[in-house]
């Protein structure tokens, strides 16, 4: 009869490990995907970022340039590659074309939900944390 408690513990451990994707660190995602051009602080001061045409922008003043409000939808659509103007460097990857992980539901102001890839949300969160 000792078999059943051991089986239950093993099954719980296996299910917990299989059903959960590792949590995405916003800072780690930024360092991996963005810091090569935008720098670790998001100022766009890396030599590679400055050599681009146009240069990688300073991400720390996005809210200031938007009346003090962080432009989350703009940032996410830019990272994703969904919406970009001609003023963007063609060197900026379209991260939405790759696997950005499982989606999470983000609540809109009207109470509806929008599925957003977890890595995209993590990157936007980190860029928001960089605001002056």
Enter the pTM of the model. Answer: 0.76
User: What span, in angstroms and rounded, lies between the C-alpha atoms of 109 and 118?
Assistant: 19
- Phi and psi at 58, nearest 5°, equal -75, 120
Residues 6+ apart with CB under 8 A from 29: 119, 122, 123, 126
Question: Which pairing describes strands 113-117 and 103-107: parallel, antiparallel, or unpaired?
Answer: antiparallel
Crossing angle, helix 72-80 and helix 118-129, to 10 degrees? 130
Domains of the chain: 23-129 (1.10.760)
Along the 132 residues of the chain, how does pLDDT read in single tens digits?
443 333 333 333 333 443 344 688 999 999 999 999 999 999 988 888 888 888 899 999 999 999 999 999 999 999 988 877 777 778 888 888 888 889 999 898 899 999 999 999 999 999 999 998
Q: What are the helix (H) ranges across the chain?
A: 3-19, 26-33, 35-38, 47-51, 72-80, 118-129
For the chain, the first-to-last Cα distance in angstroms comes to 62
What is the predicted pLDDT for the residue at 22?
60
CA contacts within 13 A on the Cβ side of 47: 0
């Amino acid at each position: 009869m000792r078999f059943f408690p051991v089986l239950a513990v093993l099954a719980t451990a296996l299910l917990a490990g299989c059903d959960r994707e590792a949590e995405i660190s916003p800072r780690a995602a930024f360092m991996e995907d963005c810091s090569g051009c935008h720098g670790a602080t998001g100022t766009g001061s890396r030599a590679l970022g400055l050599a681009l045409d146009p240069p990688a922008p300073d991400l720390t003043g996005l809210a200031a340039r938007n009346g003090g409000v962080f432009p989350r939808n703009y940032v996410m659509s830019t990272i994703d590659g969904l919406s970009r103007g001609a003023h963007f460097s063609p060197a900026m990857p379209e991260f939405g074309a790759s696997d950005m992980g499982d989606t999470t539901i983000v609540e809109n102001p009207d109470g509806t939900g929008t599925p957003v890839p977890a890595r995209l949300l993590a990157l936007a969160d980190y860029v928001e944390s960089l605001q002056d």
